[in-house]
């Protein structure tokens, strides 16, 4: 019995790719869940490319990140591309992350989705080292941040304060929702400078605000940066009474 068990283990270790799905076409893409990490194998054909499928919502922001396999000691140099549901319309691609937080030879694509649909991620090895066998990991993160409350009117003003924590300018789209969960006002988009701020006042006229003299609800902020690139706080205050309250914005998932 011990001999049979040892032979079975040995057989598995000799063919590491056998345990991975043949997701080498868009039609055979592997489904992955936000926040989870999926490990796969890349090498010579037919394992020279890998496809992954995930669902996105219009107006929210996402990052696709690729790194080495958890136990792989060799160096991966992945190239990742993200497509719309048809598998041909390119949303973005990257080889070797060049912005903060950086990671040598690894890849990341971050974007704001314009549609509610499936998106596809394609991972290949760098053209320089293509065909080198090895494991890699991929994860998709919802980077949208949310604040639960703002109040504007009856002597109160509401301010949305956004800070860029990185060394690259980021685009941010701010959407207000009323207490029933319906979009109120027109979403505002702006650029958050390197280490800088993008601030909006709910009652101010666009583009510095939403033109809403009286409104309350929650705030959604989508952006083109990686997880943690933008931090935000919403402050509602009355200059006359001196009363104010803050509602920090938070991501909808843990990035650890």
| Structural class in CATH, domain 20-142 | mainly beta
Distances (CA, A) of 55 to 141, 147, 173, 210: 11, 23, 20, 29
| Statement: residue 205 has pLDDT above 70 | yes
Is residue 146 within 8 Å of residue 249, measured between CB atoms? yes
What mean pLDDT do residues 58-83 have?
A: 88
CATH number for 145-251: choose from 2.100.10.30, 1.10.580.10, 3.40.50.970, 2.60.290.11.
Answer: 2.60.290.11
Please state the rounded mean pLDDT for residues 78-87.
95
Dihedral-angle region of residue 88 (phi above 0 means left; psi in -120 to 50 means alpha; beta otherwise): alpha
Domain ranges of the chain: 20-142, 145-251
Q: What is the DSSP string of 91-115?
A: EEEEES--SSSP-TT-EEEEEE-SS
**Mean pLDDT on 160-173:** 97
Which residues, 6 or more positions from 93, have their beta carbon under 8 angstroms from its beta carbon? 79, 80, 81, 82, 109
Question: In which band, very low, low, confident or very high, does the pLDDT at 5 lie, cut at 50, 70 and 90?
Answer: very low
Burial (Cβ within 10 Å: 0-12, 13-18, ≥19) of residue 223: buried
- Between 251 and 71, where is the model more confident? 251
| Contact between 150 and 216 (Cβ < 8 Å) | yes
Strands, sheet with 170-178, edge to edge from the N-terminal-most edge strand: 183-192, 170-178, 215-223, 145-152, 250-251
Q: How confident is the model at residue 14 (pLDDT cuts 50, 70, 90)?
A: very low
DSSP-assigned states of every residue in 21-80: ----SGGGPEE--TT-EEEEEE-STTSSEEEEEEEE-TT-EEEEEEEE-TT--SPP-EEE
Q: In this predicted structure, what is the pLDDT of residue 20?
A: 58
Q: Does 169 have pLDDT greater than 70? A: yes
């Amino acid at each position: 019995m011990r001999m049979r068990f040892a032979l079975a283990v040995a057989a598995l270790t000799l063919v590491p790719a056998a345990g991975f799905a043949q997701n080498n076409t868009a039609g055979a893409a592997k489904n992955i869940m936000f926040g989870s990490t999926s490990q796969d194998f890349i090498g010579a054909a037919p394992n020279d490319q890998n496809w992954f499928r995930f669902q996105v919502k219009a107006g929210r922001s996402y990052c696709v990140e690729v790194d080495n396999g958890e136990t792989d000691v060799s160096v991966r140099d992945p190239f990742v591309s993200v497509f719309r549901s048809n598998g041909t319309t390119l949303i973005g691609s990257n080889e070797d992350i060049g912005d903060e937080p950086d990671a040598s030879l690894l890849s990341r694509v971050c974007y704001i989705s314009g549609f509610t649909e499936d998106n596809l991620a394609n991972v290949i090895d760098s053209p320089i080292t293509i065909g080198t066998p090895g494991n890699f990991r991929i994860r998709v993160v919802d980077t949208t941040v949310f604040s639960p409350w703002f109040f504007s009117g009856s002597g109160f003003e509401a301010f949305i304060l956004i800070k860029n924590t990185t060394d690259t300018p980021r685009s941010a789209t701010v959407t207000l929702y009323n207490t029933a969960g319906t979009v109120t006002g027109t979403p505002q988009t702006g650029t958050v400078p390197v280490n800088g701020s993008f601030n909006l006042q709910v009652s101010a006229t666009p583009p510095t605000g939403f033109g809403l003299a009286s409104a309350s609800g929650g705030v959604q902020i989508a952006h083109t940066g990686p997880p943690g690139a933008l931090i935000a706080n919403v402050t509602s205050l009355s200059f006359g009474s001196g009363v104010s309250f803050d509602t920090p914005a938070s991501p909808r998932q843990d990035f650890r």
